Amino acid sequence: MGGYWKRLVCSIKESLLELLKKALLDEEKLKTTLCEVEAYLNARPLIFIKTRSTNATLCSRFNC
């Protein structure tokens, strides 16, 4: 489980660095940015759900 958390923290850092490269944000914009990063991470697929057909379905927090 440790590797999962390390990768999650790395994803958050990468997203924030990309969004905040040259920006100086006030508190409200920083909160908005953090919410966007959270939404991005929560939309990632958690698992594949195999069905009888050859198509696999992705399961994330938003579509399971």
Given this model, what pLDDT does residue 11 score? 82
Asked if residue 14 is part of any domain, the answer here is: yes
Say how far apart CA 7 and CA 26 lie, in whole Å.
28
Given this model, what pLDDT does residue 16 score? 81
Residue 46 structural domain:
2-59
Give the list of residues 6+ apart from residue 29 with CB closer than 8 angstroms, or none.
Answer: 23
Count how many Cα atoms sit within 13 Å of the Cα of residue 13 in the half-sphere of its side chain: 6
Give the list of residues 6+ apart from residue 37 with CB closer than 8 angstroms, or none.
Answer: 12, 15, 16, 19
Which residues pair with residue 50 across a beta bridge? 56
Given this model, what pLDDT does residue 28 score? 92
Per-residue model confidence as pLDDT tens for the chain (64 residues): 577 778 888 888 887 888 778 778 888 988 988 888 888 878 777 666 666 665 555 555 555 4
Instruction: Count how many domains the chain has.
Output: 1
Given this model, what pLDDT does residue 59 score? 58
Asked if residue 64 is part of any domain, the answer here is: no
Given this model, what pLDDT does residue 52 score? 64
